[in-house]
Structure 1
Amino acid sequence: MKLKKIFILTGLCAAIVACTDLNIPPINLLGERDIFGSNEGVTSNLARIYSRLPIEDFKYYYPSGFNFNGAHYKQMACLTGEAIGRDTQASDNEGFSYWDEAYSEIRDINMFLENISKYSSSFSESEVKMYLAEARFARAYTYFALVKRYGGVPLVDAVIDYPASVNMEGTYYYRASEEAIWDFISSDLDYAIENLPENSPAKGRANKYVAAAFKSRAMLYAGSIAKYNTVNEVQDQNGTSVRICGVPSNRANDYFKASYDAAKRVVDSKKYSLYKGLWKANDRIAQYENFRNMFLNETSENIFVKYYEIKNAPHNFDESVQPYQTKSGGNDSEVNPTIDFIEMFDGIPKDENGYFKNIDSNGKYILFDSPLSAFANAEPRLRATVIFPMDTYRGKVIEIRRGIWTGDASNGISPLANEGDVGNCNQLTDPNLKLAESLSSNPLIQLKAGDPNGTSMRAAGINGPVSNWDFGNVGGVYLRKYLRESGTTNDFNSTQCWIEIRYAEVLLNQAEAAYELFKAGITGDNYRSIAYNNINSIRERAGATLLSSELALDNINIIRNERRKELAFENKTYWDLKRWRVLHEEQNNRRYKILNSFYSTDAQKYFLSVKFQEPRGGFQYIYTFDTRYYYQPIPTSEISKNPNCKQNPGY
């Protein structure tokens, strides 16, 4: 039923009098004209629509949904191999259904669209176009969140006026084809691009380039599904065969071209740019500080941002991922980057197989004055993304240590028995190793006379890792990206804004779409050259080694890996791995590797062990992705009440 009145709470009670004229609207009701016939009412409605957009930000919690206001014990980055977490179990998936919330948002948007058109005489022509365009941008955003989870879904582009205009059977919508949903998203975004202003009317609202940037993301996803998805689920709908899961492969280049063109529109506008405000050529410290500060400030790179503020809308990101050492209460250490992730970056010592080189030619551990020394030549972007053991954060040296080795190091230190051995991933049984069972049972270990570190050290440092289930580090490294350098870290006290779309992503979208078009032999722009230039622009800012020539860009994985490094921990990688249809290959009985730092009392130096994530609290952390989850289950409640809605395969 269409909403005809909107209630406003006033705190007053009204008495019902027998003789009252019921045709007079109560004073605590506003009619449609009051809400949709004024700029104040319209912007209030828009604010509500924006606040409900399915943005996977600091308050997104994959077990529970969007705008979650509890402790974030699990993080999406721990589902992708970017990191491990104490509480993130292997083979997890989204534990909530976005279905009902999405269609509630779509209903509100459709109602908004109908009423803006109905009361258009109250506004200027440009205002009407802007309001309609913002609503259609939001509708595309919502359908994108649906289609990437479920495939084809019921396409509702108007308010369903039940029971006034349709009976119950009229609400039983079939699922549209997945292709139709992608095309509908494209159409809504095209309208938004053409009718939104050059500049956002207010912070956090869309403009034409926000819509174009988002289109570059959505159409890239659609192209990937057309090219890489193999699921073909069809439903007979009154004699018509409709493909509700999957997109015809011959549409791939259409979508890649749409993504490329949308990204090009943003690039050609010159409205945004890669942030280099603190960047200096050949200055690794400046490049590190530039990348780190980019996520804590307003910059030229921000395209679409969700804002937070302490009074009405804080979040708890710092509490969730901060080091144990800097916590002032609450939680900590839920995101611990893996060595698998670290190995993607340039400048790290690697063996002939591309793995982190921690063993010398004599089969002994390479020794370092500090664990940080092992990564001294890594690209600055990496140090701006993670906190290595003995690096600084909030003015403190972050002491991450698995244990202390007290053996004779005169002939070098041989690899621990468990080095690289998945079968013994938790068996640290070397008698020379001094470990901590927990942070509250962390023994002091005597050092040799003359040790520059003093007379004794805690076995596990301040942060761990430790042997048993406990707070503190579990992977040997901490996340730095998005972490504030000051302020209270317990509970909901964080106010960093979430950069939902930034210019680097647009360049990466364009590069990937361009390379796909190049490989398909599509004529037009010099697609390979554009992809090459985009990747090198990002790598230059990151302090990484530049690709030597266009010919060096000879594999789609070069672009994909650059994307994984640049957009790490921004909740993009999970969906990228799904759209490329490679997550099941990466997570096939997979354990992720962690970095364990140990101090040698005899050598008075550190050595670094690479091992698999240790089981804790009964969790084995062996990852396997079930391919049926490329399409998530439609909620059983929807299947029960709508006989025309077919469930996805495998459920």
Structure 2
Amino acid sequence: MKKKIINIVLLAATVAMTGCNDWLDMSPTNKVSEKIVWSDVNYVTQYVNGFYPYISRYGAFETGDSQVGLTDGLTETLKFGSATPGTNVGFANIIAFAEGGLAASTAAFHFGAWDDTYTRIRRVNEFLYGLKKYGSNFDGDTYKRFEAEARFFRGFLYFQLLKRTPEVILYNEDLLAITENKALSTEEEGWNMVESDLSYAAKTLPAKWDNEAGRITSGAAYAMLSRAMLYAKRWQSAKTAAEEVFKLGYVLMPGKTAADYAKAFTSMRDGNTESILEYNYLVGGPNHSWDKLFMPGGDNTTMGGRATPTQEMVESYELATTGGYPDWTPWHNTTTGTTDTPPYAQLEPRFHASVLYNGCEWKGRALEPYVSGKDGYAVYDDGSALNGRTTTGYYLRKMLNEGYTDYSKACTQPWIAIRLAEVILNHAEACYMLGADGANDDLRQIRERVGLPYSNKSGEALMAAIRQERKIELYCEGHHYWDMRRWKLAHTAYSGQNSRVHGLKIEKQGAEFIYTYVDCDRKDRLFEEKLYRIPLPETELSNNSAVKQFPEWL
């Protein structure tokens, strides 16, 4: 059989029993009868395939995680360039600054996974309901495979809710038992459901599909379980799940050079041995706009530069080979600047694979992120249009396709939803929290991959090293903001005092460049403690009398 890759359009729309968003409306609206769907394994497979786009919905390429996409822009690591209210990019800065004090409606909208996620949960539960009803049509292994795939997605979706709000409303496949008004679950009940669903999928699904790369595997389910259990603070479950992944033969991609490291973000079909769960795109759809949004302005002066790395992020990278950090003091001059060249060339491979900087090679040319340069520079909040210009002196390189030059076409690089490096770091954190051995070996493995040394640590120094490696290794993969929340560090890191991000304004004078340290925020970033629990949306409050808004949001 010809090898197939899961590049899925929402086929379930043609076979689902109902497309209704109302949990109580059980009326079928399909064009294919229910009995026909459940009598044909190919139809049921298409039904399950319709859940696969959910993998990408909460990824960096789309807006399920937040309305602006990259939650890294709410931290010290990334700066969204627009200050225009009403745009997604400008809205990110409103959230980062908590301008005027965040209202419940604003926060619920920006992190608004609630309504869409419950629609998706209903679709999965409808599938499980139908599977039980017509299960006798399938042999035992086929039945279990369908159930396991669906339960993976339900666990994945409830995880998306629980990482925002510890109390959610739990629905299972017993659709006939649904009531109009239902109370919030406890946090423990929510995580019990996630752990149960992901564990069942992990124990039931194969480690590898013979003819369909891209389907959910036991490795993907165990990897997702290791992630979810960190949020649940179920350290032993997180550790055990990660160790199950380690048994399955995934291997870190080489990383001694930036080019090698960048291959960790290619598809498993192209030989990426690190990818555990991914979603593949097509030019004709589904596709995304990652390159169009984040490429340097010199590629196309009407787009790009949506968000750019900050000086704080750049200074987080260590020196290649030896480790340790360069002294950035000369480049913190806010008045006359300096003509000294920043130590970019000395930094480790992950920097060069993640950040574009002045003079680096990009698409066969030298990058010009300076005033009046080809890629340009813009002062944040000066009222002018960005037109692809940077506000920090840098551009994002991570996950960009350097071969993308036809800007009339959509972008198609895969979304790597989970890779081995994350699972190793999940394991390290779980080991630390349990007081178990393993965390130092995990960090050594991550660092040695990119040629950095490592010496064993303990206590707070070890946890600090785990946090630092997560910040660097998982940059712009949608983790840092949520990590800072679950560690309960966000309100101190973004306290509203001395919590601005910075960049380098670069000016060319003859053969020299002047680098001046600049404030890229104009006001301090503020994470209000009430954001540790995202508010309930008005749609739920209006339609469910059994729930009330959280008191901190009243």
- Normalised-by-shorter TM-score class: 0.7 to 0.9
Q: Deviations over 1:274-315 (max 9, x none)?
A: 012xx5xxxxxx521111233234300000001101012121
Is 2:507 the counterpart of 1:626? no
Q: Is the 8 A contact 1:381 1:542 kept in 2?
A: yes
Q: CA deviation at 1:83?
A: 1.2
Determine if contact 2:332/2:517 at 8 Å carries over to the other structure: no
What letter matches 1:148 in structure 2?
K
Q: Residue 264 of structure 2 corresponds to which residue in structure 1?
A: 294
- Aligned to 2:503, the other structure's residue is in SS state strand
- SS of residue paired to 1:149: coil
State whether structure 2 residue 77 is matched by structure 1 residue 82.
Answer: yes
Rounded to whole Å, the distance in 1 between the matches of 2:514 and 2:530 is 42
Q: 1:261 aligns with which of 233, 240, 247?
A: 240
AA in 1 matched with 2:506: S
Tell me if structure 1 keeps the 8 A contact 2:48–2:150: yes
Query: Is the contact between residue 116 and residue 128 of structure 1 (CA under 8 Å) also seen in structure 2?
Result: yes
Conservation of the 8 A alpha-carbon contact between 1:628 and 1:649: no
Partner AA of 1:86 in structure 2: G
Secondary structure at the aligned position of 2:426 is classed as: helix
Q: C-alpha distance in 1, partners of 2:290/2:13?
A: 35
Residues 117-143 of structure 1, C-alpha deviation per residue, up to 9 Å, x if partnerless? Answer: 222232221111111001110000010
Shift of 1:562: 0.4
Gap regions ≥5 residues in structure 1: 10-25, 66-71, 224-254, 280-285, 403-459, 519-526, 615-619
- Deviations, residues 468-503 of structure 1 (Å, cap 9, x unaligned): 423211110111011111233536510000000000
Which of the two has higher C-alpha Rg?
1
- Alpha-carbon contact 1:75-1:334 (below 8 Å) kept: no
Answer whether contact 1:306 1:497 (CA < 8 A) is retained.
yes
Q: Which residue matches 1:222?
A: 232
Task: Give the AA of the match of 2:59.
Answer: D
Offset, 1:360: 11
Report matched runs for 1:575-594 at 5 Å.
Answer: 575-589=482-496, 590-594=499-503
Output aligned runs, 1:332-343, within 5 Å: 332-343=304-315
**Which of the residues 217, 220, 225 maps onto 1:210?**
220
Say if 2:447 is the partner of 1:532.
no
Give the direction of change, closer, same or farther, for the CA distance of 1:354–1:629 in structure 2 (3 Å limit): farther
Corresponding residue number in structure 2 for 1:41: 43
**2:6 equivalent in structure 1:** none
Partner SS, residue 624 of structure 1: coil
1:183 aligns with 2:192: yes
Q: Match of 1:647, SS?
A: coil
Is 2:264–2:275's contact at 8 Å kept on the other side of the alignment? no
Which has the larger displacement, 557-566 or 480-489?
480-489
Counting aligned pairs with the same residue, the percent is 28
What are the equivalent positions in structure 2 for 1:111-150 lying under 5 Å apart? Answer: 111-150=126-165
SS in 2 for 1:563: helix
Q: Secondary structure at the match of 1:333?
A: coil
- Assess, with a 3 A threshold, how the Cα gap between structure 1 residues 30 and 475 changes in structure 2: closer, same or farther: same
Does the CA contact (< 8 Å) of 1:90 and 1:621 recur in 2?
no
Match of 2:95?
91
Contact 1:173 1:644 (8 Å CA) reproduced: yes
Q: Is the 8 A contact 1:273 1:300 kept in 2?
A: yes
Name the SS for the 2:277 alignment partner: strand
Equivalent pairs, count: 498
Cα–Cα, structure 1 residues 598 and 374, in superposed 2: closer, same or farther, change >3 Å?
Answer: farther
2:367 match: 398
SS at 1:186 equivalent: helix
Counterpart code for 1:89: N
Deviations 1:12-47 (A, max 9, x none): xxxxxxxxxxxxxx9x84322211222111111111
1:505 paired to 2:422: yes
Find the counterpart in structure 2 of residue 547 from structure 1: 454
- Which one-letter code corresponds to 1:541 in the other structure? R
Match of residue 167, structure 2, among 149, 152, 157? 152
Tell me the secondary structure at the aligned position of residue 596 of structure 1. strand
1:473 maps to what in 2? Answer: 390
Q: Secondary structure at the match of 2:516?
A: strand
1:197 match: secondary structure: coil
Superposition deviation, residue 366 in structure 1? 5.7
Aligned to 1:647: 549
Does the Cα contact within 8 Å between 2:267 and 2:278 map onto a contact in 1? no
Q: CA deviation at 1:202?
A: 2.4
Q: 1:568 aligns with which of 472, 475, 484?
A: 475
Aligned residue number for residue 206 of structure 2 = 197
RMSD: 3.1
Counterpart-to-counterpart distance in 2, 1:334 and 1:6: 33
Change (3 A) 1:80 1:355: farther
1:592-641 deviations in Å (ceiling 9; x for gaps): 1112233444xx43343322116xxxxx3531111111111111221122
Contact 1:319 / 1:489 at 8 angstroms: preserved in 2?
A: no
Q: Are 2:303 and 1:331 aligned?
A: yes
Matches within 5 A, 1:163-178: 170-178=179-187
Identify the residue that residue 7 of structure 2 maps to in structure 1.
none
Name the amino acid aligned to 2:135. S
* Letter aligned with residue 266 of structure 1: V
Match of 1:321 in 2: 294
Q: Distance in 2 between matches of 1:492 and 1:628?
A: 42
- Report if aligned partners of 1:343, 1:356 keep a CA contact under 8 Å in 2: yes
**Higher mean displacement: 559-568 or 333-342:** 333-342
Query: Structure 1 CA distance, aligned partners of 2:34 and 2:504?
Result: 60
Q: Runs of 5+ in structure 2 lacking a partner? A: 1-11, 17-27, 83-91, 97-106
Distance in structure 1 (CA, Å) of the matches to 2:133 and 2:331: 72
TM-score w.r.t. length of structure 1: 0.71
1:77 to partner: Cα distance = 2.2
Residue 628 of structure 1 contacts residue 650 of structure 1 at CA under 8 Å; is this kept in 2? yes
**Structure 2 counterparts to residues 68-79 of structure 1, below 5 A:** 75-79=70-74
CA positional deviation for 1:330: 4.5
- Are 1:556 and 2:463 counterparts? yes
- Rounded to whole Å, the distance in 2 between the matches of 1:466 and 1:89 is 16
Distance 1:36 1:385, change over 3 A: same
**C-alpha deviation, 1:582, in angstroms:** 1.0
